[in-house]
Amino acid sequence: LMKKKIALDMDEVIVNIYNRFITLYEEQYEITPNPEDYAGRKFYDLKGAGNYREFLFEPGFFADLPIFEGAAEVINWLNNHFDLFIVTAAQEFPNSLIDKYYWLQKYLPFISWKQYVFCGDKSIINADYMIDDHVHNLATFKGVGLLFTAPHNINEKGYIRLNNWNEVKLFFELELSKKEV
C-alpha cells in the first residue's frame, strides 16, 4: 500500500522565527512587544520594526532558531507513517539555504536529505497534505491544505487549522484510522 505524502513547511511550522524577531526587538527597544500589536500580520510589519525583514537575508539568521515544542517527536512519528517532505520556500533568502540544511541535520537527523525540498514557489508541490502557515501556499495546493497557526494568520479562514504539534498528531492519527476501516 502506498503511503500518503505530506509536504511540511519549516518557518513558523517547525521553526519559531517570531522568537528571534522578539529578541531583536527587545534588544533594540528594551521592551517586549505586545503580541496584539503583531496579531494578524508579519512581525516586521510591527510599528518600529521597519528594517526587521532585512534580517532574513543575513547569513546565520536561520541557523539556530528554536524548534517548536513537540515538533521533532511528531515529525518522527509522521515520517514512520507517511512519505514526508520538508518543503521550504528558501530561494527568496539565499543565505537561508545552508542554514536550513544544517538546521534540519541537527534537529531532525532522522529525516534524509532526500526529503528536503528547497523551492521558490510551492504551487509545484504534489502531495496529499501540506502543512503551512501561509494561505497563499495552500491556495494553489491540490491536496488537503492544513493551516498551522502563527501570529500573522490568526484571522485567516477557510482551512483546517492546526494550532500546535499535538493537534498535528491527532489529525494524522485520525487520517490513518480512516484508512484502516
Question: Phi and psi of 7, rounded to 5°?
Answer: -100, 120
Query: CB 165: neighbour CB atoms within 10 A?
Result: 22
Query: CB 94: neighbour CB atoms within 10 A?
Result: 10
Q: Is 45 a catalytic residue?
A: no
Pick the closest to residue 46 from 58, 38, 54 (CA basis). Answer: 38
Q: Is 64 a catalytic residue?
A: no
Query: Which amino acid makes up residue 105?
Result: Q
Query: CB 153: neighbour CB atoms within 10 A?
Result: 22
Enzyme catalytic residues: 9, 11
